[in-house]
Chains A and B, each alone.
Chain A
């Protein structure tokens, strides 16, 4: 029999809040984490604003040994470890070092790249014929699976320890891979999450593609504007989100606090056919992903109360709304409530899906809708499809039974997860 899967721990390193308590407060109050970065101006970026979490030295040294921090220069691993350890502790799990690994616990912790700054450092040394000066730690900080490898050691994980990568779908995908592993009985607990490096070497490629906004360098907090008429591209960001997924049996046995249930979902690709390309989604595939998620969880489209969208603040936002309308067969006043975290955090790339899953689960657990900031001038193409009331501009308490979360990524890949209020 398939195991039910619940969320028992959360962790986050977001541009607008590091740690769950600060993040909850930030999203309830619509606080933006977007700031002007003079480094981006110095490097002549068009977009000079970004979302980058601020970490205290105390927090960093509580998660890493002094030795690990020697020559450490991997922002993505740093965020991932801090978020991952928070979720683990938040679930009431121990960090005591046991002799044997915990065979029942593993991690799927995604990343887009790893240690890009470390890699840059290494490349300079290599080109100066100083290979030997790389020392011992270039590999673990730059290997794609660096983040899951560090977590595996810190938590003593004995089940699957791996990193997935599917561009901006990464975070949502990690949750579904972890879900399936518990559902099938191969693990009791999986730390699901994702992280993203930040800084100019990650963001430059997007700046060059002209997909980031350059119109808000003077007004950073107003820069990330999902669903808005004046949206002019996304604001690059970074961070990490983590969710401790656990079989319901294990959670109940431990007496763990349950935030929400993961009902399941679907992962697919548009094959870069139809409207799909390397960078644009095949709408048919997006719709298929959403309807398959409903089918896999045995839900009817009318049961979805809230959508947490991908919604990056580009011209694709209205296409996304259209795809939700088509897939759910709901529009106008019948459309569910919908919100976009990226208005506050910017687009955390490979970390975005997991940060948004954390925000989604918090909304279910506490029963509220976070505000869509910077959407006071709703795009008329969106207003023509759904009732503007369904896009709350202010925080309000709201009980949620079923929430659909989707993420889409370069490569024409999609993931849709259905979270449910947990009832024993």
Chain B
């Protein structure tokens, strides 16, 4: 799975939680979930659950804490897919 495809699937997930639709339109690897997308911090766990379901992976607590930006999310998803041998 290439980065573009990953990003577009991630975009669909975060679109349910963002309170800043403009930042969503210009989403890129540098986009921060809290600062740019204005996602309520309580909803970060929901983003993680949706990512798990979308990609069929399980995200551990440590990775979960780091998943605060698009870049971190993509990195974590890639790693988990790699571990599962499903790149």
Contacts and interface: CB of A to CB of B under 8 A. Distances in A.
Do A and B belong to a common assembly? yes
Interface stretch (B3-11, B27-35, B41-49, B75-83): B41-49
A85 B46 CA distance: 27
Query: How big is the A interface, by class?
Result: under 10
B17 A133 contact: no
A136 B16 contact: no
A132 B45 CA distance: 9
A66 B46 contact: no
A135 interface: yes
A133 B59 CA distance: 12
Contacts of A1: none
A66 B49 contact: no
Contacts of B43: 67, 136
Contacts, number: 19
A67 B49 contact: no
B17 A135 contact: no
A70 interface: yes
A71 B16 CA distance: 12
Contacts of A71: 46
Contacts of A133: 49
B35 to A, nearest CB: 18
B45 A70 contact: no
B17 A67 contact: yes
- Interface centre among A66, A67, A136, by most B CB within 10 Å? A136
A132 B51 CA distance: 13
13 contacts: A66-B16, A67-B17, A67-B43, A70-B16, A132-B45, A135-B45, A135-B46, A135-B49, A136-B43, A136-B44, A136-B45, A136-B46, A137-B46
Interface of B: 16-17, 42-46, 49
